[in-house]
Amino acid sequence: MSSTTATAVNPATGEILHSFKHLTKTELTAKLEQAQLAQSGWQTNHISYRAGCMLQAAVELRERQQEWAELMTQEMGKPFKDAQAEVEKCAWACEYYAKNTANFLADETVITDASKSYVSFQPLGLVLAVMPWNYPFWQVFRFAAPALMAGNGGLLKHASNVPGCAAAIEEIFEKSGFPTGLFTNLQIPSGMVESVIRNPLVKAVTLTGSEPAGRSVAATAGDCLKKTVLELGGSDPYLVLADADLENAAEVCKTSRLLNAGQSCISAKRIIVVGEVYDAFMKIFHQKMAALKVGDPMEDATDIGPMARKDLRDELHEQVLRSIEAGAECLLGGKIPKGQGAYYPPTILTNVKKGMPAYSEELFGPVAAVIRAEDEDEAIHIANDTSFGLGGAVFTKNAERGEMIAKEKLNAGSCFVNGLVKSDPRLPFGGINHSGYGRELSHFGIREFVNIKTVWVR
């Protein structure tokens, strides 16, 4: 594979799917200038006009849902049924912002000593989005829908292993009536990202990805005094308390941990179970994990497809081995299967203790780390004993107490009670600590990349 191209490889078969040439520096400059021209006109359009284009994007997504879903499955191994649901979620986000932006960005009157004073929300300009491969459509649309509706332009640097998805998203926006170049796919290697951030035409950056990538982008953007939003890794704790509905808790923990072959920043990374119900929970949880089918992601019966790349699978396995060497017990899975593809089995690690990779590092794959806590207080302490802070969940039949723990005790950007942590266009999404800063989605998300302007008149 040439360093001058982005090549997609089917992780289920190892087959090379297609390659896209990287932009030259000259081509990149032309793309940025075209985007700036498109954005300068786009921001003058009324929100109702922008909404019409965004609603058409939802139509384009749904009309070719099968095609987009298959592309995702081929490029990064997501089960086809899950990819279909991802396309629908993107359409939902487009509709949500098309219908709500007028209210989200309406001028806000403030009574002062002026004849008239208010707060107005104006677009910043071109926003660069550095996006990951795990949700190759959703991650992009949850940025693009609010950013474009606010009057900004979008520049996409997508992950190198999903170049077809990047090209497809650009096509969707173009066919939906958005100005050519307003949303631009920048097919460039990672080494060129810094030059894009430093380009005077780029006004802000958003990144979803690893902690090291976030630090690098934030450092460059900070040097240029440009706004950033970072959604980084997570090691989400799921607390199973003594009065929990164990059947529901085990089902939700299983589902959360293995969505997208466990390659989700908000999956149940650390399952913390109070000792009183530990054995009973583990019996149910083990049965559910062991019953899942790993296989061809295009088959309806498949629960778990391959991981996105073999090198990622191998890194995960190395974390599992290091945890076992440090004293963790492998109750299920934990072995690389024979044959082609980047597959890894559903795995359960128990006796997980502080200092092990399974305790302190993010395991980005189908590996559940189960931690036994003596009581509720220790469970909360373990939950917060992490450098991350993206999401968390509590399972208890006492919903009022669960709400108190979620609101007041857990240190994370999203805390759910008796359900799995998920993103929803209606709710803000993002983390604290090493999980990043800023928010996506909801009205909070659309206001991240606008100039919150005070206007005072006498």
- Residues forming beta bridges with residue 274, ordered by sequence position: 373
Q: Please pick, among 53, 165, 265, 415, the residue that the annotation labels catalytic.
A: 265
| Number of neighbouring beta carbons within 10 Å of residue 110 | 13
- In the Cβ-directed half-sphere of 32, how many Cα atoms lie within 13 Å? 22
- Respond yes or no: is residue 330 known to be catalytic: no
Strand spans (E) along 358-427? 367-373, 391-395, 414-417
Contact indicator for 186, 156 with CB cutoff of 8 Å: yes
Torsion on CA atoms 227, 267, 368, 321, rounded to nearest 10: -30
Helices (H), 308-417: 310-325, 357-360, 376-384, 399-404
Residue bearing tokens 């469970």? 379
- Respond yes or no: is residue 265 known to be catalytic: yes
Q: Which residues contact 444 (CB under 8 A, 6 or more apart)?
A: 428
128: phi then psi, degrees, rounded to nearest 5 = -90, 130
Query: Among 169, 206, 147, which residue's Cα sits nearest to residue 90?
Result: 169
Contact indicator for 373, 274 with CB cutoff of 8 Å: yes
| Number of neighbouring beta carbons within 10 Å of residue 408 | 9
* Three-class secondary structure of residue 145 per DSSP: helix
Q: Please pick, among 231, 361, 362, 448, the residue that the annotation labels catalytic.
A: 231
Query: How far apart, in Å, are the Cα atoms of 259 and each of 287, 292, 310, 335?
Result: 17, 12, 18, 19
Q: Which residues contact 95 (CB under 8 A, 6 or more apart)?
A: 54, 55, 58
Contact indicator for 440, 429 with CB cutoff of 8 Å: yes
What's the burial of 248, exposed, middle or buried (CB within 10 Å: 0-12/13-18/19+)?
middle
Which string of b and e fits 216-229 if b means at least 16 CB within 10 Å? bbbebbeeeebbbb
Residue numbers annotated as active site: 231, 265
